[in-house]
Amino acid sequence: MSQIPVEQRVLEFLGEYTPDISQAAQACRSKLQLLFPHGFELVYDNYNALVFAFASMQRSSGAILSIAAYPRWVTLFFANGAGLADPKGLLQGNGVRVRGIRLFTPDDLDRPDIQALIAQAIAPHARALEIAPPLQTEVKSVSSKQRPRRPSGQ
């Protein structure tokens, strides 16, 4: 792809958002990076959102969870959310696999109920993550056509 360093590209992607959303997405990303000392952070600048997927392998099929930045909020997605025990009913969506939680602040990631869901999602991948290299960030795709990254009028 590009010869621009990955972190510079990420900052460029985040720069398309309002400062509030950009800062929230970066803070959420930093928190998740601490939970994934090994593995792969796969970046997708998609049509609808900027996505940071955390995976045990370099393919999207290895994604465990992700955060997606939208113009007005950040969402935490669980790749196998439909299979997670969710006693508090936090997970939203009705897809076959993926479920999400809209984050009102990056500190939501520190809530015990959300931490329990994250731990549950990571557990089946623990061995694969242990043998994976130190966390590597890769820009996997950039959509040529995208929805606006800022709310109307901003």
Q: For residue 86, what pLDDT is reported?
A: 95
- Residue pLDDT tens, the chain, 154 long: 457 899 999 999 999 999 999 999 999 999 999 999 999 999 999 999 999 999 999 998 899 999 999 999 999 999 999 999 999 999 999 989 999 999 999 999 999 999 999 999 999 999 999 999 999 999 999 999 989 899 877 6
78: CB partners within 8 A, 6+ apart: 64, 65, 84, 91, 98, 99, 100, 117, 121
Q: Which of 107, 86, 138 is nearest to 30 (CA)?
A: 107
Length of the chain: 154
State residue 95's pLDDT score: 87
pLDDT at 124: 97
Pairing relationship of beta strands 63-69 and 50-55 according to DSSP bridges: antiparallel
Element (H, E) at 79: none
What's the pLDDT score for residue 148? 87
Element containing residue 104 per DSSP (H, E): none
